[in-house]
Amino acid sequence: GNSVTQMEGPVTLSEEAFLTINCTYTATGYPSLFWYVQYPGEGLQLLLKATKADDKGSNKGFEATYRKETTSFHLEKGSVQVSDSAVYFCALTPYGNKLVFGAGTILRVKS
């Protein structure tokens, strides 16, 4: 089946620290991979995506690389800000329609 596993949170960092949130997946075929973010009181927003192996998605200083050999799509940011505090969801779409989400990782950034 199709599934996504994310590192458990909450992850608490100081401002300007380096961020990694691990995500691994199981899927049939060649899924597209996504990171969505949910800021407090807001809806889910697409952060970045990658559609094939070795693609790198990037947005707002965040990056993730589609690694087929390790079935991973880890989210990284070099220097986090307080405004990055949110819940981050890794997701895949096996056939291009429904999204399959991980459980989410809470990120808290302290000033």
Partner 1 sequence: GAGVSQSPRYKVAKRGQDVALRCDPISGHVSLFWYQQALGQGPEFLTYFQNEAQLDKSGLPSDRFFAERPEGSVSTLKIQRTQQEDSAVYLCATRVRGAGETQYFGPGTRLLVL
Q: What is the size of the binding site for partner 1 (CB under 8 A)?
A: 23
* 104: contact with partner 1 by CB under 8 A: yes
* Site of tokens 């690389």: 65
- DSSP secondary structure, 68-99, as one string: TTTTB--EEESS--GGG-EEEEEEEESSSSS-
Binding to partner 1 by CB under 8 A, coded x per residue (else -) over 15-34, reads -----------------x--
Nearer to partner 1, 14 or 52 (CB): 52
Interface residue with partner 1, options 50, 73, 102, 109 (CB under 8 A): 102
Nearer to partner 1, 17 or 44 (CB): 44
Which amino acid type is present at position 30?
A: Y
Least Å distance, CB 82 to partner 1, is: 23
Site for partner 1 in 39-58 (CB under 8 A): 42-46, 49, 51
Q: Are 61 and 83 in contact (CB under 8 A)?
A: no
CB-based contact 14:75 (threshold 8 Å): no
One-letter amino acid identity for 106? I
Helix (H) or strand (E) holding 63: strand 62-65
Question: In the complex, which residues of this chain contact partner 1 (CB under 8 A)?
Answer: 4, 32, 36, 42-46, 49, 51, 89, 91, 93, 95-104
